[in-house]
Amino acid sequence: MSTLVSPFTERRMAEIVEKVRYGERLTLEDGVYLYETDDLLTLGQLANEANLRKNGKKVYFIENMSLYFTNVCEARCAFCNFRKDQGDEGAYTLSGQEMIDYVEQHIHPGVREFHIVGGHNQHVPFQYYVDSLKALHDKYPHVTLKAYTAAEIDFFTRISGLSIEEVLQELRKAGLQTLTGGGAEILSDQYRQKMKVTKANVERYLEVHRTAHKLGMKTHTTMLYGSVESYEDRVSHMLQIRELQDETNGFMVFIPLSMQPKSKNAGIMRRNSAYEDLKTIAISRLMLDNIQHVKAYFINIGPQLTQVALSFGASDVHGTIVREQISHAAGALTPAGLTRKELIWLVKGAGRIPVERDTFYNEIQVYE
């Protein structure tokens, strides 16, 4: 790593390079400095080398489908354009059979995972959410059910009167195998108050994942950045995830999600810059030394920047998705999905080795 440091490298950056070289953990102050520095190339190279030590040149993807049973939601998060009130134009709540009918129209033999999230619909009982999973599991037993955010699990405890563990156990009986990472937003109660995030607070988000991990589940986790939070908020978020990972070793991947504006017509000044997106991926890789993968989510940052992100610490490009709705209900201008061939092309175009995986990062096929 000595090649990272040149006569033009700032002393603080050189110190961080040395810390990473010798396996010393980065602090909150280190992370904030990395956000503030304009030395993007040293940061990127440092994150790239950290990722290469963990994953070599392999970059992972999965053939999956995103499914949304309902967009009716009691929460009114300031950044969300997906939610509806019951009775609104465009509001829907699908039965298990209606979702199966949708899947039948779009599924192809390679799909290994259903990625399931949706609104916090207080007009249906908890059993509806259980039955939704069971219907899919019974019809497609070979497809992994990655379903519900920690915020949804917390919501289910409120409408059912059950504990977090009891909710998870009921969902697991229906076929649940892992949780999605959403609902984290920024792990700051002050941020959640500003952004009207009335769903699970910081403590509950972490407790849901802690409980899932204690039950033997491996899960995903996210960070939604680019609104009112400070650099310190972002780094503190990463450190809280790192601390829980030290305790449970249950997170498989960290997913930085670039905030989308509420309108597709929003100008570039209302969007995160490519500079900010690359910095966040690189800093995530360096701060989260105990999580195997950092994901570059092409839905939010676009396929081309995703390619560049593979040299800034990312080792996963998500999956085929088929028809993403939440980011596109806001202002995402990216494709709503990519094919297997396109994902392979994307990864190879970055000089990396595409690896098709299952939900739990078991390798299905390596495309040398």
What are the percentages of helix, strand and coil residues in the chain, rounded to 5?
Answer: 45, 15, 40
Tokens found for residue 135: 């219907």
In angstroms, the CA 273 to CA 267 distance is 11
Question: Cα–Cα distance between 71 and 91 in angstroms, integer?
Answer: 6
CA distance 364 to 344: 14
Q: Is 80 annotated as a binding residue?
A: yes
- Name the one residue in this structure whose structure tokens are 């899947």: 103
| Token duo for residue 34 | 């990395």
Q: What tokens appear for 212 in the block? A: 């899932």
Is the dihedral angle over the CA atoms 101, 105, 111, 117 positive or is it negative? negative
Sign of CA dihedral 150, 298, 329, 79: positive
Q: Tell me whether residue 355 is annotated as binding.
A: no
Contacts of 223 (CB under 8 A, 6+ apart): 184, 185, 186, 187, 234, 237, 238, 241, 254, 255, 256, 257, 280, 284
Q: Tell me if 12 is assigned to a ligand binding site.
A: no
**Binding site per annotation, positions:** 73, 77, 80
**Binding site per annotation, positions for [4Fe-4S] cluster:** 73, 77, 80
